[in-house]
Amino acid sequence: MTRPFRFGVNLMAPADRAEWRARCRRAEQLGYDVILVPDHLDMPAPFPSLVAAAEATERPRVGTFVLNAGFWNPALLARETAGTDALTSGRLELGIGAGYVRTEHERADIPFLTPRGRVDHLRRTVEELDRSLRDEAHRPAPAQRPRVPLLIGGNGDRVLRLAAEYADTVAFAGAAGDKDGSLSVLTADRLEARVAAYRAFAARRESPAELNLLLQMVAVTDDRRAAVRPLLGHMPHLSEDEVLELPIVAVGSVRRIAEQLREQRERFGFSYLTVLEPAMEAFAPVVAELAGT
């Protein structure tokens, strides 16, 4: 089954009430289906920002992209999730991952666990969320039943196995975490292998999950090579041609980018595409090209 495209934008810059509402309304005007916020220090506070986004708009859903499970106590997160879902009239989609930025844990005086420890905590958190949000006795009560839709982000086998059990949407970042908390980009073949691993874990699901990809670079341009040259210093192991072939890089004319995304949906299954706030305006013509298809 080929899912229709939908599009999210991750709003990353803190703002006062008037500016935040204006940015959310602009995202709605441009056709984005989901207004998202990250979970990093120095960026918008996730849950109040989503309530404000829902109040400022009518159509888009709102979501976290993605919460760092290490920042959250599972029972308290269930409370925040349910309360936010109620205040947004059932428009919330909760995205969560294991977390990867050591320096943020140090600033917050929260232990930065080993990779295994972070995934263990993610599992405990997801299991508690699933249990609590399905419980009709839970207070506050969420608006959505049987529970708030859950997006799980990550590429490792243990996270993908967890996503196969619980996620309504699985988010692939196009990068893999290293032991030191840094990220390395995934080529198309490596990303395809990660998607294949997820599909194997999810083989017994009654209905497939939606698959998401975060586009790290968007540029509408007639000179694709010039657009990606600034990236080469950050990816010394890749040639210019290889960078142009990365699934997370969308550069070229609107028509060319749209065709690339159609091809990636066919190859990988990515129907839900997210861009970062700096690309919101540039990517809007692609949204218009692909909306509803």
Q: Tell me, what CATH number does 130's domain have?
A: 3.20.20.30
Strand-strand pairing, 183-185 and 175-177 = antiparallel
Give the pair of three-digit tokens for residue 269: 């299954």
Count of domains in the chain? 1
Residue 45 lies in a domain: yes
State in Å, rounded, how far the first CA of the chain is from the last one. 13
The whole-angstrom separation of Cα 217 and Cα 251 is 8
Residue 1 lies in a domain: no
| Alpha helix ranges (H) inside 88-187 | 102-108, 115-134, 157-166
Residue 224 lies in a domain: yes
Q: What is the pLDDT of residue 181?
A: 47
- In 135-267 the beta strands, taken as DSSP E runs, fall at 150-153, 169-172, 175-177, 183-185, 210-215, 217-220, 249-252
**Of how many residues is the chain composed?**
293
pTM, whole model, 2 decimals? 0.96
Residue 233 lies in a domain: yes
Q: Tens digit of pLDDT per residue, the chain (293 long)?
A: 799 999 999 999 999 999 999 999 999 999 999 999 999 999 999 999 999 999 999 999 999 999 999 999 999 999 999 999 999 999 999 999 999 999 999 999 999 999 999 999 999 999 999 999 999 999 999 999 999 999 999 999 999 999 999 999 999 988 765 555 455 789 999 999 999 999 999 999 999 999 999 999 999 999 999 999 999 988 888 999 999 999 999 999 999 999 999 999 999 999 999 999 999 999 999 999 999 99
Structural domain for 242, as ranges = 6-290
